[in-house]
Structure 1
Amino acid sequence: MRYSFRQLEVFLAAAHFQNITRAAESLAMSQSAASSALKELENQFDIQLFDRVGKRLQLNELGRLYRPRVEAMLAQANELEQAFSKHTEVGALKVGATLTIGNYLAVGVMAQYMNTPTRPRVSLEVANTSTIGRRVRDFELDIGLIEGELQSSELEFIPWRQDRLVIFCSSTHPLAQKQTLSDSDLREATWIMREPGSGTRQTFDRGMQGLLPDLNVLLELEHTEAIKRAVETDLGIGCLSEVVLADAFQRGSLVPLTPPAHRNFQRQFYFILHKQKYRSAGIARWIDLCKEL
């Protein structure tokens, strides 16, 4: 074999950090050793994988072509190494999730995944849909769980479960006693909303098509708990996932409101993976546990 796994690790680290010094530090190597490993890899095959601008390394077209294949090869090698050393096929996993999923669903799945004799580690990153999509595309996350919509030819979207947004208010709000809201009620209400760009806001905007320019949005917040607290104090009404609101509805601190029949707030949760990502036993186990929820 004319290349080593170490050379491939340096290639991926350099692609990630775009700097050979930081790549070397991440692999506990000297800068000169990492630079030599990358140069030897390119020289052996008479190729160039990066455009070099000062100290910055930028993947060129050839580097972008080979990166997914190298990522898949090293993932398989790491899984085999874990199987040899720990006698298990389920290893460490890097998971990304959007806010609703990360805070209300993913933590329970993490506990189940890690509850095995070998205690495989799971790192969870919670961010908006576009960030999770980008990090899965860049192989910085093994799998993503999203509630929003993305367009990417590099990603595979696997349907997970249905979800529904619910309009809600405090138990003392004037609308709490109304059986079904009208479009006029929606226009006249004061709203406490998720920020633009979030998956929740995407679904809300789609469901409120035709009314958006007329809505009175008082606050746009990034955190669902902050929205719930604001609505409980009668600052306005909100619209969040039923997953987020279940406990508050049970306590009676918040009240669900019925929108007009033509307003649709259904949506789909998805798993996202890079199309060239190696499907490890850990990824398969994670998906199975999520589907058991």
Structure 2
Amino acid sequence: MTIRHLRIFIEVADSGKMSIAASNLFLSQPTVSQTIKELEQHYGVLLFERFCKKLYITEQGKRLLSYARYVVNQFDDLEENMIQSKHVEKIRIGTTVTIGNCILSNILSSFNESNPEVETYAYVNNTKIIEEKLLNSELDIGIVEGEIKSSDLVCIPEVEDYLVLVCSTKHPFASRKEIKLNELSGVGFAMREKGSGTRELFEDYMLKNGVTIKTKWESNCPGAIKRAVLENQHLAAISVRLVEEEIKDGEIHVIQNSECAWNRHFSIVYHKNKFINKSMEDLIEVVKNYKHMDILEEVKTGWLVK
């Protein structure tokens, strides 16, 4: 089994057809077919089911695909680092939408200041997508607020954060000191998209307490969610960091969870087999040292109670 075997296997899995994979790799179809057969014989498993001239990857195939992507990516990194005499070091950072909108710029500025020779690439999406890209070796390191499911990833909680319920200062809830949890049933919410760590934390809490959420607006853009709150009188559960400006301007009213059940951390995530070089160590230290003042200090808020 060689790197070449794995490259061909990945191309077949991605394209779904031997003929397409052969064309993309400038190989003959029999060569591609023989390579897959050799892999199956080597590992003693069936990698693809073949029905009606179509290929369907098996569970064993999916398992190999995850490892193959990682091994090929690491091999390419090795080649690039060892062969290029004037190599520019790169680090690919993935963050979730909340982090991308509130602290990523500061983190990158601090890191670039102390590591000007390192080229950074930043990618922002929800927790589920960041996790997938880390598993596929498309990113080197992630900073997320949601729960990481895969045991192949190391997840280290570092930066404190918490969700708050927000509404417009014109909303009826804004004039009340306490809001009963069951009063949220049937009220219109502006929600993050599925796969978001923010949405998962809030939905799990509401489900646990038997409260049904009425989603009226769904977006992966915090700005759009804030507009729905301000202009359409929806409620939203959102990181307190994302509404700091609106709180200071008196546009948004904050309702805190009296149980502190929405407290969470932004976590550093990377593959358990990832080699942590000096640049990654420096980036991790920047994240660990990130400080933020209490946004709600001296701010009058409401409280969500049961």
Task: Provide the residue aligned with 1:287 in structure 2.
Answer: 284
CA distance in 1, matches of 2:35, 2:218: 51
Q: Given the superposition, is the C-alpha separation of residues 58 and 125 from structure 1 closer, same or farther in structure 2, using an over 3 Å criterion? A: farther
The Cα shift of 1:87 comes to 5.5
Task: Specify whether residues 287 and 41 from structure 1 end up closer, same or farther in structure 2 by C-alpha distance, changes over 3 A only.
Answer: farther
**Shift, 1:242, TM fit:** 1.0
Query: RMSD across aligned C-alpha pairs, in angstroms?
Result: 3.9
Secondary structure of the 1:246 match is helix
- Aligned with residue 30 of structure 1, among 23, 26, 38: 26
CA 1:153–1:228 in structure 2 vs 1: closer, same or farther (change >3 Å)? same
CA distance in 1: counterparts of 2:40 and 2:204, whole angstroms: 51
Residues 166-220 of structure 1: per-residue CA shift (max 9 Å, x gap) = 1222233343343x3231684489442314733222222344443513x6x3623
d(CA) in 2 for partners of 1:47, 1:250: 63
Scaled by the length of structure 2, the TM-score of the pair is: 0.70
Gaps in structure 1 of 5+ consecutive residues: none
Alignment of 1:39 with 2:38, yes or no, is no
**Structure 1 position 255, deviation (Å):** 2.6
Q: Output aligned runs, 1:1-293, within 5 Å.
A: 5-20=3-18, 23=21, 29-32=25-28, 36=31, 39=34, 43=38, 46-47=41-42, 50-51=47-48, 53=50, 54=53, 56=55, 58=57, 61=60, 63=61, 66-67=64-65, 70-84=68-82, 85=84, 90-93=89-92, 95-110=93-108, 116=115, 118=117, 120-126=119-125, 128-178=126-176, 180-183=177-180, 186-187=183-184, 190-195=187-192, 197=194, 198-208=196-206, 209-210=208-209, 212-213=211-212, 217=214, 219-222=216-219, 223-233=221-231, 235-259=233-257, 261-262=258-259, 264-275=261-272, 277-281=273-277, 283-293=280-290
Count of paired positions: 280
Matched residue type, 2:26: S
TM-score normalised to the size of structure 1?
Answer: 0.73
Alpha-carbon deviation of 1:246?
1.3
Measure the CA separation in 2 of the matches of 1:207 and 1:66: 36
Distance 2:185 2:105 in 1: 38
Unaligned regions of 5+ residues in structure 2, if any? Answer: 291-306
TM-superposed deviation, 1:154: 3.6
CA distance in 2: counterparts of 1:185 and 1:46, whole angstroms = 59
Q: Displacement, 1:245?
A: 1.0
For residues 236-284 of structure 1, the C-alpha deviation after alignment (integer angstroms, 9 at most, x for no partner) is 332210121112212222232344x236221233333344x42342544
Residue 47 of structure 1 aligns to a residue whose secondary structure is: helix
CA contact (8 A) 2:168 2:233 kept: no
Q: CA 1:10–1:229 in 2, change beyond 3 Å: closer, same or farther?
A: same
Identity of aligned residues (%): 23
For 1:130, the aligned partner's letter is K
Alignment-mate amino acid for residue 246 of structure 2? A
Determine the C-alpha separation between the residues in 2 that align with 1:51 and 1:112: 47
Inter-CA distance 120–184: structure 2 relative to 1 (3 Å threshold): closer
